[in-house]
Amino acid sequence: MKIRKVNLQDIEKLKKIGKLTFAETFSSENSEEDMQKYLEEGFSTEKLKTELADKNAEFFFAEFDGKVIGYLKVNFGQSQTEIKDKNALEIERIYVLKEFHGKKVGQILYNKAIELAKEKNVEYVWLGVWEQNPRAIRFYEKNGFVAFDKHIFNLGNDEQTDIMMKLELNKKASR
């Protein structure tokens, strides 16, 4: 398996893996209308072009046998969705095709995010995870994240609650 940075030429692959993994993950718990609205808006060519051009956002593909099987999106500085802290990195998305769940792909993408956070010398990493996604919550807790707040995520016309979690990286010695 290989991890590589996504560029503008990959936009159709990004759109495809983004829609597919999001739908696989959340379709069973959401209405078809809300899913359709979110997928069309969240993974539109225009939106992805803007995100790919943003110097404070990066996407990475996980590829296996030349096929994209998952991806990571991280945000820095003003591109973070909520906390605009220059000392933080946001993991906005880690998604893996269902057939590759349990094969450490998510962990490898997560490790890439932590590597980027350390390169940028940020103090902490944060993210939002849907309160009804126990698998993802356990994954982040296992990696040392703790819940610190909640925020609203709009999926189509449905307001959902995300648990905001954070992982401290550069603990300051307190004496």
Residues 122-158: pLDDT tens digits? 999 999 999 999 999 999 999 999 999 999 988 888 9
pLDDT at residue number 157: 87
Distance of CA 79 to the CA centre of its chain: 13
Mean of per-residue pLDDT scores for the chain: 93
User: What is the pLDDT, as a whole number, of residue 174?
Assistant: 44
Residue-level pLDDT at 171: 58
pLDDT band at 173 (very low <50, low <70, confident <90, very high): very low
171 or 172: which leads in pLDDT: 171
Q: With contact defined as beta carbons under 8 Å apart, do 61 and 68 qualify? A: yes
Residue pLDDT, tens place only, 86-111: 999 999 999 999 999 999 999 999 99
* Residue 85 pLDDT exceeds 80: yes
pTM: 0.92
State yes or no: pLDDT of 14 exceeds 50. Answer: yes
What is the model's pLDDT at position 156?
Answer: 85
Q: Cα separation of 168 and 126, whole Å? A: 9
* 13 has a pLDDT exceeding 70: yes
Contact 122, 90 (CB under 8 A): no
CB 39 within 8 A of CB 21: no
Catalytic residue among 71, 110, 124, 140: 140
pLDDT in tens, 34-51: 999 999 999 999 999 999
Residues in CB range of 15: below 8 A, 6 or more apart: 43, 45, 48
Confidence of residue 175 (pLDDT cuts 50, 70, 90): very low
Domains in the chain, ordered, with CATH?
Answer: 2-168 (3.40.630.30)
140 is catalytic: yes
